[in-house]
Amino acid sequence: MKKLQNVARPLFLCLVIAMVFGIYAVRLMQWQLVEGETFLNLSDSSTSSFIKLTAARGEILDSEGNALAANRTAYQIAFKRTEVDMDTINDTILALVQLLEERDEKWIDNLPIDLKEDGTYEFRADSDSEISYMKSASMLNVNDYATADQCMAQFVEMFQCQGYTKEEQRAIISVRYNMVKNQFGYYTPYLFADDVSSDTMQIISEKSLELPGVYVQVGTVREYTDGSLAPHIIGQTGYLSQEQYDQLKEDGRLYSADNLSGYTYDDVIGKSGIESVFESDLRGTYGKEELSIDSNGEVAQDEVTVQPEAGNTVWLTLNSRIQKVANASLAKNVKASAEAGQLSANDKWYGQDCVAGAAIMVDVETGGILCASTFPTYDINEYLTNAKYNQKINEDETNPMVNRAFSGQFTPGSTFKPLVASAALQEGVLTEDTTIHCSGVYDYFADTGFTLGCMGTHGSINVITALERSCNVFFCETGRRLGIEKIDAYGTLFGLGEPSGVEVSEGNGLLANPTDYEKNHGSSWTSGITVQASIGQSDNSFTPVQLASYITTIANDGVRIRLHLEDKITDYTGEEVIEQIGREELNHCGVDLENLQIVQEGLRAVCASSDGTGRSLADYGIAVAGKTGTAENPSHSDNELFVGYAPYDDPQIAIVVVIEYGDKATYSMNVVRDLLDAYFYGAYVDEDGNIQVPSATTQQEKTDE
């Protein structure tokens, strides 16, 4: 029995082994005989990957659906690796560069090295990160101190550019440098030019045999419908910088099969303004085209597995018609102020130095900004396409690139007085019946040699009359009694020196206070400085958008709301609303309604009374409330300001106008009237750039309504 067991065990193991080999043999026959052709094809296919399919960027529209930033169909030139002859690629690149330059067409040139007239190379200014990358182990792997000439010598060896002129070498190297950075390969075409004319497209198509691997595709480019309408707000797009790419890489936001919304090196991104702030909404999601290349370099399989998804559309609160009126009116009145000032025969400043201004209109109910104009301005389309214009704008000493409406900081002058009045009434320092005597000079500190003049001799007046006539003496004394701590506390609640809430960049502003004063001036705060601050001088300095927040708060009976540019976000078609922005209340100013109504009555008197500083609006068809301001500048003409709202009894809009170094209130009030005409009477800018208002009959009908 034991002997039988010794024989059975090896026999069983042999049978098991035979069965296993039998299974393998059958499977091998199936692979070779039945499925042999399929696996032969698979073995011939060396790699498989995918190509990104570009998605359209979302558009930016105004409140009425007019395009501010749109997509235009364009012809693009690209290289396809499967068809490129690498032995002749330098000649192909050179022929393509020469063709485009002969036709005055642009190609993508990001090499941070330029050829000088003396035949030597130099690094491009403001390209430190690009130069650092170029020298790094990812590209040339040279020392940090390597010169531009040394880098180019390395490139000549790397890309085998010997035998070409220096101009030709630089062109070839620029393209091949970008190819390497963009990982040009079978699955990554290289974009050579993103916007060429139809004639150039036709020529390239006809020369396809002479330009192996070069093809023309249809894409989209960003287009700003009116490049000078609101360039500071809309902003611009551009190719990723090295810093942006590195940051996206660090954040895990690069494009891959698992992240179709990620970025590639040749991607376009929002660089400034709304384009940047709403990048995640405007940017679409790439599609995916799966591709297999066989061992001969031929496409074995090509299938779109994920369709691209367009970005969302951003609707703004801006009204293009009103914005155009604001732009035209500011330009006209700034220039008029300068021309009038030049007539002066002495050395005093009378507006001849006036070169700038800003104007804002806000929807009082929602906080939506209907217009935000700044002058001087620029044309974003010209800036992006015209090198000479670009240089001119950057060298312009009037700084047209600065958004004065949101970032410019101005001494508020008498427009600060309604705040002081509100705080004093609330704190019991004043009542509606309190009177203060104005002799034409504020002499409370006369024994120290410090006095302040007034614009008139007003006698004993109350707060409403003091606002109407903008009496310095009244508000100097009110401010002294109130104290800087309480002025500052209420100033903050009204939004002065505080962020307004707008989505794009805005300035900080400064509400004068002892702490910052001591830090900035190296001396202690005094009561004399308090009275200066009370009439909008001292260190008080606010942005027009902060002044807009302040006057909107008064118009809203003390409720401060967030100012904003975004109205809503929809899908690309505009049919599905994804996000709707409404009224957002930030805080209450802390002043009771009965006290605010006294201030509001004073603001109405400013624009309605024959003695009011805003009396040029007394005959306007809509009741306007507001406050004028003149802010002194030691080495320039005075700034002229206006803050106000209309209609007085049912506020719909708030307006702020600043004419920098404007000297006379005439010009700021002209802009105010034009803005009122735009909102209430449909004023518009005609083809010749002139502001037109519908007939007086139409105006009267609107007033009667």
* Percent of the chain clearing pLDDT 90 (strictly above): 75
Q: Do 613 and 558 belong together in one domain?
A: yes
pLDDT at 52 > cutoff 80:
no
Take residue 224 and report the two structure tokens written for it.
């700003």
Query: In total, how many domains does the chain have?
Result: 3
pLDDT band with cut points at 50, 70 and 90 for residue 697: very low
pLDDT at 607 > cutoff 90:
yes
* Percent of the chain clearing pLDDT 70 (strictly above): 89
Q: Tell me what pLDDT residue 19 has.
A: 60
Q: Tell me what pLDDT residue 256 has.
A: 82
In a domain, residue 463? The reply is yes
| Higher local confidence (pLDDT), 542 or 350 | 542
Q: Do 696 and 551 belong together in one domain?
A: yes
Q: Do 511 and 603 belong together in one domain?
A: yes
Q: Do 123 and 260 belong together in one domain?
A: no
> What are 250-302's pLDDT values in tens digits?
999 998 878 888 898 888 999 999 999 999 999 998 887 776 666 655 655 66
> Looking at residue 299, which CATH number applies to its domain?
3.90.1310.10
Take residue 662 and report the two structure tokens written for it.
């404007």
d(CA 631, CA 641): 8
Q: Do 274 and 365 belong together in one domain?
A: no
Q: Do 167 and 231 belong together in one domain?
A: no
Q: Tell me what pLDDT residue 30 has.
A: 52
d(CA 133, CA 449): 63
Q: Do 580 and 650 belong together in one domain?
A: yes
* DSSP class of 664: S
E strand residue ranges, 421-502? 436-438, 441-442, 452-453, 459-461
Q: Tell me what pLDDT residue 703 has.
A: 47
pLDDT band with cut points at 50, 70 and 90 for residue 593: very high
In a domain, residue 19? The reply is no
Q: Tell me what pLDDT residue 428 has.
A: 97
> What are 517-546's pLDDT values in tens digits?
999 999 999 999 999 999 999 999 999 999
Least reliable range by pLDDT among 42-51, 63-72, 109-118: 42-51
In a domain, residue 680? The reply is yes
Q: Tell me what pLDDT residue 126 has.
A: 83
Collapsed DSSP state (helix, strand, coil) of residue 641: strand
Mean pLDDT of the chain: 90
* DSSP class of 33: I
d(CA 444, CA 481): 12
Q: Tell me what pLDDT residue 306 has.
A: 84
Take residue 345 and report the two structure tokens written for it.
């025969």
Q: Tell me what pLDDT residue 281 has.
A: 96
| Higher local confidence (pLDDT), 419 or 126 | 419
> What are 464-508's pLDDT values in tens digits?
999 999 999 999 999 999 999 999 999 999 999 999 999 999 999
Q: Do 548 and 664 belong together in one domain?
A: yes
Instruction: Judge contact between 390 and 443, C-beta under 8 A.
Output: no
Q: Tell me what pLDDT residue 288 has.
A: 79
Q: Do 432 and 567 belong together in one domain?
A: yes
Q: Do 107 and 252 belong together in one domain?
A: no
Q: Tell me what pLDDT residue 255 has.
A: 85
pLDDT at 31 > cutoff 50:
no
In a domain, residue 159? The reply is yes
Q: Do 290 and 342 belong together in one domain?
A: no
Q: Do 270 and 329 belong together in one domain?
A: no
Which domain covers residue 309, as residue numbers? 43-66+225-316
Q: Tell me what pLDDT residue 525 has.
A: 96
Q: Tell me what pLDDT residue 461 has.
A: 98
pLDDT at 333 > cutoff 50:
yes
